[in-house]
Amino acid sequence: WGIIYSLVMIAGGLFASCGGNNFDLIKVLRIAGIPVFVAVIIMFLCTWTFNDRSLYAYSIAINFIAGKEKYKKIFIIIGGAVAVVLAYFGINNRILTILNGIGAIFLPLLAIFIHFFYVSSINRSEEERERHLFNYQPFISWLFGVLIGCLTNNNLILSFVASFTMCYLLDKLASFKLAKREIKG
């Protein structure tokens, strides 16, 4: 589980950095316009499924959102207690099937990572790479790759190629034009 958890966190960070030019999930959710209470729910659901790390991860997420270091111990205790209770009732075992099913979403993420960091970033100026705007292209490409993977019974190679191709086409056709107009206007 430790290896799977680490790979999931790395994939999430790569996906977040493509979408919002940042590795922090909370900041990316803020850039995308997601309300704070939804971000709290997302962070809670991300951490309680892996109980061995939930105490620390939950406290970091809540402290970042709340901004109050003095309540750190309280948040750690609350997050850990809820995670232990849910694990005790076997919630982890019930969602294992779902977790195995969503494993196919990470190969399209790899395609997006390869495109944005090895193909697309070569043609961008330093100003475009450093701009902290929300970019829709990786999300559309990812959804397209996941859809292809689901429709073809988890054909991972096809979902990788579909995601990479969609990302390439969107980058060539739209290439940050919407974001540039928002800045100038």
Q: What is the dihedral of CA 153, 157, 159, 163, to 10 degrees?
A: 180
Q: Which tokens in the block code for residue 6? A: 């680490």
Domain boundary among 68, 102, 136: 102
Residues 49 and 116: their CA atoms lie apart, in Å, by 30
**Window from 24-38, 91-105, 132-146 with minimum mean pLDDT:** 91-105
Q: Name the nearest CA neighbour of 141 among 110, 114, 170, 119.
A: 170
Does the pTM surpass 0.95? The reply is no
- Tell whether 98 and 10 lie within a shared domain: yes
- Tell whether 22 and 93 lie within a shared domain: yes
pLDDT in tens, 119-160: 776 666 666 656 656 677 888 898 999 898 888 876 778 888
Residue 182 has pLDDT above 50, yes or no: no
Task: Give the per-residue pLDDT at 35.
Answer: 74
Domain boundary among 81, 102, 123: 102
- Tell whether 118 and 133 lie within a shared domain: yes
Q: Which tokens in the block code for residue 147? A: 């859809």
Task: Give the per-residue pLDDT at 184.
Answer: 44
* Residues across the chain: 185
Residue 23 has pLDDT above 60, yes or no: no
Task: Give the per-residue pLDDT at 130.
Answer: 61
Domain span holding position 27: 2-102
Q: How many domains does the chain have?
A: 2
Residues 138 and 20: their CA atoms lie apart, in Å, by 10
Domain boundary among 102, 123, 142: 102
Task: Give the per-residue pLDDT at 3.
Answer: 59
Most confident of 105-114, 121-130, 169-178: 105-114
Residue 154, by phi and psi: left (phi above 0), alpha (psi -120 to 50) or beta?
left
Residues 112 and 110: their CA atoms lie apart, in Å, by 5
- Tell whether 10 and 96 lie within a shared domain: yes
Task: Give the per-residue pLDDT at 179.
Answer: 45
What is the residue-wise DSSP string for 21-40? Answer: S-S-HHHHHHHTT--HHHHH
If you average pLDDT over residues 26-31, what whole number do you get?
Answer: 66
Residue 11 near residue 109 (C-beta atoms within 8 A): yes
Judged by DSSP in three states, 36 sits in: helix
Residue 161 has pLDDT above 80, yes or no: yes
In 48-71, which positions are buried (b, 16+ CB within 10 angstroms) versus exposed (e)? bbbbebbbebbbbbbbebeeeeee
- Tell whether 78 and 8 lie within a shared domain: yes
- Tell whether 110 and 54 lie within a shared domain: no
- pLDDT level of residue 165 (50, 70, 90 thresholds): very high
Higher per-residue confidence, 69 vs 53? 69
Q: Which tokens in the block code for residue 167? A: 């990302």
Work out the mean pLDDT of the chain and round it to a whole number: 68
What single-letter DSSP state applies at residue 23?
Answer: S
- Tell whether 94 and 149 lie within a shared domain: no
**Window from 44-53, 94-103, 164-173 with minimum mean pLDDT:** 44-53
Q: Is 30 buried (19+), middle (13-18) or exposed (0-12) by CB count in 10 A?
A: middle
- Tell whether 79 and 63 lie within a shared domain: yes
